[in-house]
Amino acid sequence: MNLRNSKFDDQKMETIMGRLLQIGVLLASAVVLAGGAFYVYAHLGTTVDYRTFAGEPSGFRTPKGLWHLLMQGNSAAIIQAGVILLIATPVARVVFAVIGFAIERDRLYVAVSLTVLAVLMASLIYSS
Amino acid sequence: MLLFTLLVFAGSIGAGLLGALTGLGGGVVLVPLLTVVFHVDIRYAIGASLISVIATSSGAAAAYVREGFSSVRIGMFLEIATTIGAVFGAFLATRMPTRALAIIFGVVLLYSAWLSWRQSRCHDVEAGGSSPWSDRLRLSGSYPDGAGGQHSYKVDRITAGFATMFGAGTLSGLLGIGSGAVKVLAMDHVMRIPFKVSTTTSNFMIGVTAAASAGIYLHRGYVDPGLAFPVMLGVLAGSLLGARLLVRARVSVLRSIFTVVILALGVEMILNGALGRM
């Protein structure tokens, strides 16, 4: 390990990526837990039925609608924000890979990572 | 409401625990649990499961990196195939009748049971084939051999591996599972990548693959906050606990029991789908 200390290589990149993912999950879990606690408290005594699929209300499906509900202190919106944070975590990892390979001057893998990022972005944009 | 949340939370811990102990991942147990036991619509179950898959994969990443086996290059290269597959899978999922989804899921369960049963019996052969593209695409690498040195390896049959990865991504997007078993199969058996490198790299890929279809699920309204919250936290807690236990516990007995459970769930899901009870 101490053979390569300051040099930036694949191993170092993966270590930073691992941390990045861990922090993202911790943050997202904290937000979801907070939102979930409020959510359960607000819905005490009600019954739930997931037998029939209705789809979530439109407010939860678009960033704009979600932001609006979030500002009103809607507990379900807090959970959804945590979920979005969670989805953003692996995306952030790919963004970091682009930067990492650029530092290593590995053009081929900058292109590979950018392709993955493009697919991710296309799916997120297509869906919003 | 409180009771339902607590029960789902407990069930998710169990799913995460079993998923980690057997190496199949939480989603494979979670979706049948939610649909067969809790009578949740399969679309909500898939949505919640996919979110938990991202959490587990990312949560375990730091531990895997420390071991130094994973290859960021192989992972990133194959993620091109898995993410496109995942988008395709999510696209299919929104257009397919839920009965068909249940039947496909059941078949995947039966196949997983078979894989898990076989895994406990024989071990894979060490092979060292290599494709000329291995070096050209800079996929060759090395990992610590445990004695202070480095064990180098090359990659074989890249096209076939790439195609299998597309399939793994499609399954992941279609059923809301990590499909880690298929990913390991593609890397280990098809591309002849050493097992330890395959399993750790697969874990990284699962999160990125799931993120590709999660956006589509979210937009289609498959992710219910009330369900996603206990499921995500439960599976995450269960799988982290399972990873700890895995170091100590003897899993062969557990795996045999689990295989039977998976078989039963698979048959149940196929029956439900065929009889239109989904």
CB-based burial label for B113 (10 Å; 0-12, 13-18, 19+): buried
Q: Across the A/B interface, how many CB contacts are shorter than 8 Å?
A: 200
Contact call for residues B182 and B168 (beta carbons, < 8 A): yes
Bridge partner list, B142: B152
pTM comes to 0.87
CB-based burial label for B93 (10 Å; 0-12, 13-18, 19+): buried
For residue B273, the tally of other CB atoms under 10 A from its CB is: 23
- The pair of structure tokens assigned to B183 is 């990913």
Does B72 sit within 8 Å of A10, measured CB to CB? yes
Contact call for residues B26 and B12 (beta carbons, < 8 A): yes
Range scoring the smallest mean pLDDT among A59-63, B122-126, B152-156: B122-126
* pLDDT tens-digit series, residues B190-200: 888 887 788 88
Closest Cβ–Cβ partner in B141, B208, B222 for A116: B208
Closest Cα in chain B to A89:
B58
Contact call for residues B181 and B205 (beta carbons, < 8 A): no
Closest Cα in chain A to B148:
A1
Closest of B12, B161, B7 to residue B77, by C-alpha: B161
Does A39 sit within 8 Å of B83, measured CB to CB? no
Closest Cβ–Cβ partner in B72, B214, B225 for A87: B214
What is the percentage of chain B residues whose pLDDT exceeds 70?
A: 87
Does B84 sit within 8 Å of A83, measured CB to CB? no
A36 to chain B, closest Cα gap in Å: 6
pLDDT for A5 equals 44
A5 to chain B, closest Cα gap in Å: 15
Per the model's pLDDT, the better-predicted residue between B98 and B144 turns out to be B98
Q: What mean pLDDT, rounded, does chain B reach?
A: 83
Does A126 sit within 8 Å of B216, measured CB to CB? yes
Closest Cβ–Cβ partner in A15, A90, A115 for B54: A90
Does A33 sit within 8 Å of B233, measured CB to CB? yes
CA gap B58, B204 in Å, rounded: 7
Q: How long, in residues, is chain B? A: 278
pLDDT for B15 equals 87
Residue B202's pLDDT band (cuts 50, 70, 90): confident
CA gap B147, B208 in Å, rounded: 32
Closest Cα in chain A to B277:
A51
Does A39 sit within 8 Å of B229, measured CB to CB? yes
What angle in degrees, to the nearest 10, is found between the helix axes of B2-22 and B42-67?
50
Per the model's pLDDT, the better-predicted residue between B89 and A63 turns out to be B89
DSSP sequence for B181-200: HHHHHIIIIIS---HHHHHH
* pLDDT tens-digit series, residues B213-260: 998 898 888 898 889 999 999 999 998 888 777 666 665 677 777 788
CA gap B230, B40 in Å, rounded: 14
Closest Cβ–Cβ partner in B51, B66, B87 for A83: B51
pLDDT for A128 equals 53
| Residue B124 reports pLDDT greater than 60 | no
Does B220 sit within 8 Å of A89, measured CB to CB? no
pLDDT for A29 equals 92
Does B55 sit within 8 Å of A76, measured CB to CB? no
CA gap B159, B102 in Å, rounded: 30
Closest Cβ–Cβ partner in A25, A45, A75 for B59: A25
Q: How far is CA A43 from the centre of its chain?
A: 26
Which amino acid does the sequence have at B130? S
Closest Cα in chain B to A98:
B76
B122 to chain A, closest Cα gap in Å: 32
Span B77-93, mean pLDDT? Answer: 94
Query: Which residues lie below 8 Å from residue B111, measured CB to CB, with a gap of 6+?
Result: none
Cα end-to-end span (Å), chain B: 22
Does A50 sit within 8 Å of B138, measured CB to CB? no
Residues of chain A with pLDDT under 50: 1-5
Taking CA atoms, A20 is separated from A94, B84, B86, B156, in Å, by 11, 24, 23, 31
Closest Cα in chain A to B216:
A127
A68 to chain B, closest Cα gap in Å: 16
Span B161-171, mean pLDDT? Answer: 92
| Residue B86 reports pLDDT greater than 60 | yes
Closest of B54, B109, B93 to residue B231, by C-alpha: B54
Helices H, strands E: what count in chain A? 4, 0
Closest of B209, B159, B201, B222 to residue B179, by C-alpha: B209
pLDDT for B248 equals 64
A96 to chain B, closest Cα gap in Å: 12
Closest Cβ–Cβ partner in A10, A22, A87 for B215: A87
Q: Which residues of B touch A86 (CB under 8 A)?
A: 51, 54-55, 58, 232
pLDDT for A44 equals 78
- Best of A15, A120, A128 to mutate (most B CBs within 10 Å, chain B): A120
pLDDT for B125 equals 46
* pLDDT tens-digit series, residues B2-52: 888 889 999 999 888 877 777 677 788 899 889 988 889 999 999 999 999
Bridge partner list, B150: B144
- Best of B204, B224, B239 to mutate (most A CBs within 10 Å, chain A): B224
Residue B208's pLDDT band (cuts 50, 70, 90): very high
